[in-house]
Structure 1
Amino acid sequence: MTGLDRRAAAGAAPSSTFRRVAVRCALIGVGCLVVMSVAAWVVSQQIAEREALRDASSRARGIAWGVAGPLVTGGVRRGDPQSLDRIGEVLHARIAEGRVSHIVLWDGDGRILWMSRGDLAGQSYDLSQDAMTALTTQRAVAHLPGSTAPHDADLFAEPDQLEVFVGAVGADGEPFLFEAYMPADRIAADRASVLPKLLAMGIGSVALLLALFVPLALRLAGRVDDAQRRRTRALGRSVESWRHQRLLLAQDLHDGVIQDMAAISMGMSLLEGRSLDDDASREVLTRVVGSARRGEASLRSLVVDLAPRQLETRGLAEAVVDLARQHRAQDLDITVSYSRDVRVPDGSGILAFRVIREGLRNVVKHAAAGAVLVDVRAGAQADTIEVEVLDDGAVPPAEGALASGQGLRLLAETIEDVGGSLTLGRAPGGGTRLAAVIPFVRTQPTLA
């Protein structure tokens, strides 16, 4: 027996597709949650930074145009102390509110008009590209902390601060540049506010997807496992049936053909060197011829049982008729009833043939019957056929005979695998009734 046969006969279970799919679904779920968490963190950071820049730009523009602009006069540009004190008092009050940490005012030539800390007023420097853009367009240009190099040798570097440039017009009608630095704590606050919402939405979406996908995947995996188990059982039964068929073949050869061959050999030994004219020699010769004929008939019957050519070439009806003809040689009166409207697929035909062959074999060996009816007809349910083997034997089937008989048990399990049924019981008028309901199947089950 090969390794495959041993595994099938032992009923070895295939590796569980359900278990593999469950593990994969769990890993996919964890992976989705990790990816979603990282994505939510990144997106929340971007949203928080964008909102912080927008808020800083709006606040800086409001201070530049609404507060600083009306106070930037010719006196401020000339460095008049009273004008500078006045604008300093107002802007320091805004810084004291905590939303702005440092302010620098520039004229259009890069000269510092006023600054909230330090003593560089009146000094001139080269303005950065962003500062020039804000000055010429009169719009706000904001940067995240560390996202751009501070202009002019880090004169106004403010670590962890948002930097905003706003181009505005003073009370004297001349342009000036408003530069402000603001705390970046708003970013962390905005991210803390947005992140839970994004996580909840993302995790909810993943959970919904998994809730729809996982049961379907597990259900399909369960069906695959069921199909694998059925195939394993069918393979095991096929191997067991093959072994049983070998034992039956050996028994038939031993009880039939071998005995006949032994009788022929013994008879030929008795005839060796003797004349065939006397009555005793002729009687021995007659027995030898009879044994040879019985041996030939037995071998033909075995060949038909094992490989019915009509089943492959001309269909189930011809195979059943030929099978009945072989058993009529054993003094059985066999009647075959086959409905003309029955069109049987190959797989169902093989199973039906096995039922009839097993039934006739049991009649010959156990029933002591004289007449047998073989009936093949369309089933009461669509896409099924019904097969009956009825005999008038004096020996009714024993209780549980279907389960105890090796051949019938294997055949019943095979038919159950395809959704059919096989029953063995008493016939209505006495004797035995073997009946099968076989669905249409197009696979090729073994004839063993």
Structure 2
Amino acid sequence: MSRPAAKPSSLEKTRSTERSEVRAAVGRFLAVGIVAMVFVAVPAALWVRELSERNAMDNAIQHAQRLADYSVGPLLSDAVLAGDPGSTRRLDDRLAPRISDGSIVRVKVWDPSGRIVYSDLPDLVGQVFTLPTWTPELLAGGKGRATLGLQNDPGDENETEAGELVEVYVRATSASGDPLIFEAYFNDDAVRDEQSALVVGLIPAFLLSLGALQLAQLFPAVQLARRIQGHQSTKRQLLQHAIDASDLERQRIARDLHDDVIQDLAGLSYALEAEERHSAPENRALFSQATAILQKNVQTLRAMTTELYPPDLEELGLPAALARLTAPLIEQGIDVKLHVPADCDIDRDRAAMFYRVAREVLANTLKHARAGVLELTLMQDDDRTILLIHDNGCGFDLSAEAPDNHLGLRIMRDTIQVAGGSLEVRSWMGGGTSVMATLDRVAPARVR
């Protein structure tokens, strides 16, 4: 007969939860690192692309300058500049292979007045256009210019349908030494190929470097997460020991009061009653008053022992324990509305925390709130359990320094926060007070 599987202990649950928290922290670190890599890689890729485009433009200028200096310029004779028929045959033959293979789309040579003195399209020769404002600088020996884009300027009607082209202007010199402007249009494939080659060559190395940096930071991040988790676990354990010690001290004080002080006072009360019956008539009123004071003090001390030492929540359950806490308020004439499900699913640790919160709140309500109505609600869903307590008493100023009677709630807030929950207090002067305590359904640590 097989044995049922043993339920994991509280310590095992805590350790499992801590490991999950470390994994979650490392996962968040990796996610943030990946997002950072994307944010860094995208601008870097754009920068590399722009850099490669500028480099390709510089190469196009150099190519066009060599073409103007060594292939076109020496053949620009005075006859070509004068437009004599048949004088451009040698130029046409020299440029024909480059134009036929697509490396050059169009060639134009301008004189300083804006007249086209040579083009691979004979119809353009002799036409005059307005030159750009920077052409005097270029004619004076300035650096050539190159642009990449669609050709929509006047005189570019024949290149409009060719798509994006690299347009280059460089200075040329005729055979007789006259300065001219050499304009060439190149296919953009070379520029795009150079951009792609540079991006493909640099971006992977860049990403690998970022990835290596991320991995190098991962191990210290894991160690740091574990160290922080260890500190949190130690803090929880110290808090648990403090709460356990507080419970033991409460139990000891309650036992001492019950076994010693209350018994002695009760015995003294009985003695006074007996003395009252045998005393002179003029002394009986005094004995009666003293007996009444003693009996009232005994009742107060017994109420204190019940408040100091909580009931056995495992035996009574949280609903019955909360109902017992409201009994003193009902005796004082406060209308208590209790909304607690009889079958609430809550473990001993969280039930004890909710019980302590309710005990502090109800004690403050009874002593200071001067309330007529108090409503206590316990709610649960799939993720969390909520305890909500509201009264219609006098309230207090939250912005002021916490009075001594609210220190218990401050301690409970710290306790619940360490356990992964929250405690929120809202109060309005003359408008009552609301306290809401929230804990996850699965407690991250054992805090009884």
Scaled by the length of structure 1, what TM-score is found?
A: 0.52
- Please give the per-residue CA displacement for 1:296-353, whole angstroms capped at 9, x wherever unaligned: xxxxxxxxxxxxxxxxxxxxxxxxxxxxxxxxxxxxxxxxxxxxxxxxxxxxxxxxxx
SS in 1 for 2:128: coil
Contact 1:14 1:232 in 2 (8 A): no
Superposition RMSD in Å: 3.3
| Structure-2 residue corresponding to 1:361 | none
| Structure-2 residue corresponding to 1:108 | 112
Contact 1:134 1:140 in 2 (8 A): yes
Alignment partners' CA distance in 1, 2:267 and 2:124:
133
Does the C-alpha gap of structure 1 residues 11 and 59 become closer, same or farther in structure 2, counting only changes over 3 Å?
closer
Query: In the alignment, does 2:145 pair up with 1:150?
Result: no
Alignment partners' CA distance in 2, 1:231 and 1:16:
18
| Structure-2 residue corresponding to 1:34 | 38
Contact 1:161 1:184 in 2 (8 A): yes
| Structure-1 residue corresponding to 2:180 | 176
Query: In the alignment, does 2:199 pair up with 1:195?
Result: yes
User: Aligned ranges for residues 13-24 of structure 1 at < 5 Å?
Assistant: 18=22, 21-24=25-28
Cα shift at 1:22: 2.6
Does the C-alpha gap of structure 1 residues 57 and 153 become closer, same or farther in structure 2, counting only changes over 3 Å?
closer
Alignment partners' CA distance in 2, 1:244 and 1:57:
89
Alignment partners' CA distance in 1, 2:137 and 2:66:
18
Contact 1:106 1:112 in 2 (8 A): yes
User: Aligned ranges for residues 90-239 of structure 1 at < 5 Å?
Assistant: 90-137=94-141, 139-146=143-150, 150-152=153-155, 154=157, 157=160, 159-239=163-243
Letter in 1 for 2:214: L
Q: Which moved more, 1:83-92 or 1:20-29?
A: 20-29
Number of positions where the alignment pairs a residue of Structure 1 with one of Structure 2: 267
Alignment partners' CA distance in 1, 2:152 and 2:140:
20
| Structure-2 residue corresponding to 1:299 | none
Cα shift at 1:269: 6.0
Which of 241, 244, 252 is the equivalent residue of 1:240?
244
Alignment partners' CA distance in 2, 1:140 and 1:236:
79
Alignment partners' CA distance in 2, 1:272 and 1:94:
133
Alignment partners' CA distance in 1, 2:194 and 2:229:
51
Alignment partners' CA distance in 2, 1:58 and 1:125:
25
Letter in 2 for 1:150: D
Computing the radius of gyration from Cα coordinates, the structure with the larger value is 1
Query: In the alignment, does 2:80 pair up with 1:69?
Result: no
Letter in 2 for 1:245: E
**Unpaired segments of 5 or more residues in structure 1?**
1-9, 276-448
**Unpaired segments of 5 or more residues in structure 2?**
1-12, 280-448
User: Aligned ranges for residues 282-301 of structure 1 at < 5 Å?
Assistant: none
Contact 1:52 1:187 in 2 (8 A): yes
Cα shift at 1:103: 0.6
Does the C-alpha gap of structure 1 residues 83 and 164 become closer, same or farther in structure 2, counting only changes over 3 Å?
same
Alignment partners' CA distance in 2, 1:138 and 1:267:
122
Contact 1:11 1:236 in 2 (8 A): no
Scaled by the length of structure 2, what TM-score is found?
A: 0.52
Cα shift at 1:85: 1.4
Q: Which moved more, 1:210-219 or 1:157-166?
A: 210-219
Alignment partners' CA distance in 1, 2:159 and 2:200:
36
Letter in 2 for 1:222: R
Letter in 2 for 1:92: A
